[in-house]
Amino acid sequence: MVKLLIATHNPGKIEEYEELLAGLPLELTYPAQEGLDIEVAETGASFAENARLKAAAYARASGLVALADDSGLEVDALGGEPGIHSARYAGTGASDKERYRLLLEKLREVPWEERTARFRCVIAVATPGGQVHTAEGICEGIIAFAPKGEHGFGYDPVFYLQEYGKTMADLPPETKNKISHRARAVQRAREILEEIQGKLGFPRR
């Protein structure tokens, strides 16, 4: 079994990747398991740039093929905010609840039809030799007036999906993992992983 390093410390993302990458002949490993404690400055101007920076840094540090993502929420009425700053929208160390409450406050006077938004995820897969491939996934929705739902993390409680009549946090995880921005990016990334595995082979531990 070959190893793929998932470059995240976020328990919500770890749980999702365990589900999304099921079925591939991979042994998933994480920074803590590999003894890695590195900080990668997200200095990119886009999700793709930040994902590439993280994946390349972890691949170099570990000697493994590494997968990293950068993802966030883009709200049209706010000119694309919070965008690449989604995780730090309410300041460093703020909770998910503090972030989406700030978002709702900024949208307090915005009518329903103007609350369109999307989740965007870019996944980067990097080899220790320096090759980096990216895949993107998008999920369109509307920012709800109030949070609802107990599943998921981040902005999921306020991201409403019209076709389901529910917020992302109100969907069962198995449904979210079919239609989310991360799920759609992973579908494309799976092809990249299969190609790398077939042509280059994964470093083994």
Please identify every residue annotated as catalytic: 70
- 65-75: strand order across its sheet: 26-29, 2-6, 65-75, 116-126, 132-143, 159-161, 166-167
CA distance 63 to 39: 17
> Which residues, in sequence order, are CB contacts of 39 under 8 Å at separation 6+?
none
Whether a cis peptide bond, with omega within 30° of 0, leads into 82 is yes
Q: Is the dihedral of CA 120, 125, 131, 135 positive or negative?
A: negative
Cα 77 to Cα 140: distance, rounded to the nearest angstrom? 14
| Vertex 65: Cα angle to 2 and 119 (nearest 5) | 115
The three-point CA angle 92-8-25 to 5° equals 165
